[in-house]
Amino acid sequence: NPRLAARVQAALGGREVRVVSQIKEHVPLETLEALTRQPFEAIVSLGGGSPIDAAKLAVVMQAAGLGPA
């Protein structure tokens, strides 16, 4: 939902925001690489199971030092 994403982005103020959309089912590695390409302080996930799974996996990958980040 682009309107919801825009509202969340506006609520975050001047913070840097990256939007990754079109998360595919079963979270392919390319998606995780896109999410972890740069370090992040927080992730906000909007959507169903796969977007939420992608966000959780990206957090784990960054914490474990895995991936490009």
Q: What is the pLDDT of residue 11?
A: 93
Residues 29-39 have a mean pLDDT of 88
How far apart are alpha carbons 1 and 21 in whole angstroms? 10
Which pTM was predicted?
A: 0.78
Torsion of CA 25, 28, 30, 31, to 10 degrees: 40
| Percent share of the chain, pLDDT over 90 | 30
